[in-house]
Structure 1
Amino acid sequence: MSAYEMNFDGLVGPTHNYGGLSYGNVASQSNSQALSNPREAARQGLAKMKALMDMGFKQGVLAPQERPAVNVLRSLGFSGSDTEVISRAAREAMPLLVASCSASSMWTANACTVSPSADTADGRVHFTAANLNCKFHRSIEHPTTSRILQAMFASEAHFAHHPALPAVTQFGDEGAANHTRFCRSYGDAGVEFFVYGRSAFDSRYPAPSRYPARQTLEASQAVARLHGLSEQGVVYAQQNPAVIDQGVFHNDVIAVGNAEVLFYHQDAFLDSDRVLAELADKLTRCGGRLQSVCVPRAAVSVQDAVSSYLFNSQLLSRADGSMLLVVPEECRNNASVWNYLQQLISGRGPICEVLVFDLKQSMQNGGGPACLRLRVALNERELAAVNPGVILTAELHATLLAWVEKHYRDRLSEADLADPQLLIECRTALDELTQILKLGSVYPFQMN
């Protein structure tokens, strides 16, 4: 039976703004308070989706969250009508209002961790929503994320959904941004690669000193148990704490993998030789052969990797077996990174082409091509069971572009977040979107 990898890209929400909320994310912090353009951000994301769809890659859409999150503000003691809640939060605790307006759910690589049916004990595709409890503005996402995922992947015969892990520091879980799967082909059993920043219970593991290590080993182990993964199908690796302190807040800022290929920076992991040997051994037992492409620090520094988001790229398998690397425009604008990429594709390795996209609006908020997408490997029966409303077609792309033009503002500042009209605009847009994507009632305002 044929199997495919689908990329479900997050649709940028109408409150896209530069709140600078993500400590440890250099781009997010450095662009704090800049004027954003939600309409252009959504257009840029849709352009990438459409281009990859036109190239033959299977593409889906993941809806944004309801923002401002008035229900969250109410849980923090702000009362009255929706307008009064927003106005009081703006007067008394503007940082909380900014957090409740974050459009960070566009980073669907953080939505959940996915294990395909070929790897799981019960033969279903498993989803565990990420608790994202390292950052308040992201920790409020998982209830709605779970409802959206269940509306997209509803068949209990094919899909299993798990709630987020306990929202405590010991089980900090950042989803697929710290998870990669290696396999010979998407329908075969593979090796799931979990990368963590620290251990919650074992002080022998070194930790970063400047920025937080968001993913814990214990969270990764819990997800593997929930998904029914075998010991032979899992490898755990620790991020190098020195690169976390340089702004590598997730593994997908320093490494990306696909099929049998791992594309990574020389400084990405602790004990790299052991990690690579274990990956190679376990993938061989699955019938595959690991191909590791190491970018030496002499060619690309960690600083250049972070500023360009070289590794926050999509690594896609083409029909002829070669691979395409999808990178942001910032890679072309960085001389050392661009020189390295030209040498990479001129060689005899598995990566044969680089495709560049302008994603400036999302890049300024701290996420590139890989952050914007959630990868889901599906066989033919599972693909047929996916909600067809979220699978991108030319018609859906045109409809979504028109929807964005109708509902999104072309500029948004922090002061605008206190505008009660923004809440009305967002709810009107999302109510229409759930009909377009055939999701049903997934937002709090639709269930009140």
Structure 2
Amino acid sequence: MTAIPKRYYLLHPAISLHSRAACRITRRLSVVICLLGILCSTSAQTNTTDPVITPGLTTVRGIKPGPATVDPALRRADSLLSAGRVVEAGEEARQVLAGRAGANAVIAMQASGILATINKITGNSKAAFEYLQVNKTLNDSLTKKYFKDETERLQTGLSLQAKDREIELLGKDRELQQYQLRRHRILTIVAVIAVLLVLAGIVLLVNRSRLRQRVRELRLRNQIAADLHDEVGSSLSSIHLLSQVASSQPGQSSGRQEIFSKVSRNARETMEKMSDIVWMIKPGENESLGMSRRMERFLEETCTAGEISSQLHGTEVLGRVKLDMEQRKNFYLVFKGAVSNAVRFSGTDQVNVIISFQDKQLGVTVTDTGKGFDPATAPVDGAIARMQQRARELGGTLTIDSGEGRGTTVILRFPV
């Protein structure tokens, strides 16, 4: 076999290609080129210690191709070429290229590389170039196919990752919906409990209000009974006693006439007391007007009967305050008690009454110019004691300023 001066040109690119190869197809191509260089180096003229041949041999020896790296027919072609049977090796490689090119592009690329080498050895440069073109075309096709497959694989992986993320997001969204549903249920339960508690509170308040109303009605009933007993009962007892005395007197005696006049006066007072009790319970539509008129009428009638002058000031104040039944009753009875005591016991010739409202407190002041008295000596169960009790029920104060020979001033003040 003749020497090939340019046999080394295959080995250096093959070694560089194999060292930089990033994919399996490129590595296989570098292996084929290295084999071609080694086949060329088997001639007698080849120095196996050549610095270019030695790396090629090292590279090929370091590669352990699998079963699919070289076809059995190509192995036979390689053996024939090693034995110097170039023609038979070329026929074997052409049969492989013609029969299996469509089935396996890698084998076709390897076969075309061997044929290019054989034609180069035999001096057929044109055929060698054609086979090198076929080899390059197959290599480019395989590279494109590899990159296409790798791109599809990456796209498939990305698609799977996107679907995994979508599934994960769907799972998180479902968890969020379940959390919101649980929260909505909890809020609904809390709202229902709150509504039930509010309803229970309303029921309790209504029942408590009804209970208070019943207590007030019972207290009013007791007060009415006490007032009837104290005011009306004493007057009826007096009328009864006077009637018995009058029945024991002879026909038209002056004593009998005096008794009948007392009976008439007590009966009138009893009627007034009954009227006062009824008014205190149900004052009518205009409460303030009714209060001021009753006070004016009582003061005028009481003082006129005793030939005493009287004055009443500040009745317009009653139109600015709202009194409940208990306040109205106690206020009016304290006023009546103070006026009655002044007319009956003081020996005065003038009674002045002033109604005032200051610092959210309603007040009434009754003043006479009579002989006066010592408040410390007043009986504990008399009219003054009852007036003080009514002042305490109003939550106010009753002040009595009096002394021998300087008249009496009674002041009632209570909050409204």
Answer with 1 or 2: which has the greater Rg.
Answer: 2
Q: Higher relative contact order by CA 8 Å / sep ≥ 6: 1 or 2?
A: 1
TM-score, length of structure 1 as denominator length: 0.20
Structure with more strand by fraction = 1
TM-score norm. by structure 2 comes to 0.21
